[in-house]
Chain A
Amino acid sequence: MSELRSQTLTLLAKDLRLEWRAKARLVAVGVFGLLSLVVFSIAVGPDSKALTAGAAGFLVIALLLSSTLALAESFRIEHERRALEGILLLPVRPGAVFYSKAIANTLSLAMLAPGLSLFGVVLYGVELQPANVVSFFTIWGLAAAGLSAPGTLYAAMTAQLRSRDVLLPLLLFPLVVPVLMASCKALALVLTGDPMGQMHSWALLLLCFDLIYWSLGGILFPFVIEEG
Chain B
Amino acid sequence: MNRGIAPQRWPREHWVGLAAVGLVLTGSYIGLFVAPAERHMGEVQRIMYVHVPTAWNALLCFTCAFVAAIGSLWTGRERWDATLVASAEAGVVLNGLLLIQGSLWGRATWGVWWDWDVRLTTSLVLLLLFIGVLSLRSFATGSERRASLTAVAAIVAYVDVPLVYFCVRWWRSLHQIQSSPATVDPAMVLPLRLNAFGLMCAATWFIVRRARLELARRRSSETAIPDRIERIEVRHV
Q: Are A174 and B163 in contact (CB under 8 A)?
A: no
B-binding segment of A39-47, A121-129, A175-183: A175-183
B37 at the interface (CB under 8 A from A): no
What CA separation (Å) do A222 and B219 show in the bound complex?
28
B129 and A175 contact, CB distance less than 8 A: yes
Residue in B73, B131, B160, B168 whose Cβ sees the most chain A Cβ within 10 Å? B160
Interface of A is mostly: helix
A212 contacts the other chain (Cβ, under 8 Å)? yes
Q: How many pairs of A and B residues are in contact by the CB < 8 Å rule?
A: 79
B4 to nearest A CB, angstroms? 38
Cα–Cα, bound, A222→B177 (Å): 42
From residue 206 to 225 of chain A, which have CB atoms closer than 8 A to chain B?
A: 209, 212, 216, 220, 223-224
**B107 located at the interface, meaning its Cβ lies under 8 Å from any Cβ of chain A in the complex:** no
Question: Which one of B27-35, B84-92, B150-158, B179-187 contacts A?
Answer: B150-158
Q: Which residue of A lies closest to B128 (CB)?
A: A174
Chain B: residues with Cβ within 8 Å of the partner, total of 31
Interface residues of B in 56-80 (CB under 8 A from A): 73
In chain A, positions 149-201 with a C-beta closer than 8 Å to chain B are: 150, 153-154, 157-158, 161-163, 167, 170-171, 173-175, 177-178, 181-182, 185
Let me know if A181 and B152 touch, CB within 8 A. Answer: no
Chain A residues near B168: list those with CB within 8 A.
181
What separation, in Å, do the CA atoms of A185 and B167 have in the docked complex?
11
Given known pairs A161-B140, A175-B160, A228-B142, the reply for A220 and B155 (CB within 8 Å) is yes
What 20 new A-B contacts, CB under 8 Å, besides A178-B160, A212-B163, A216-B159? A157-B152, A158-B136, A163-B139, A170-B131, A171-B132, A171-B133, A173-B128, A174-B125, A175-B132, A177-B125, A205-B167, A205-B170, A209-B163, A216-B155, A223-B73, A223-B151, A223-B152, A227-B145, A228-B145, A228-B148
Residues of chain B whose beta carbon lies under 8 Å from any beta carbon of chain A: 73, 125, 128-129, 131-133, 135-136, 139-142, 144-145, 148-149, 151-153, 155-157, 159-160, 163-164, 167-168, 170-171
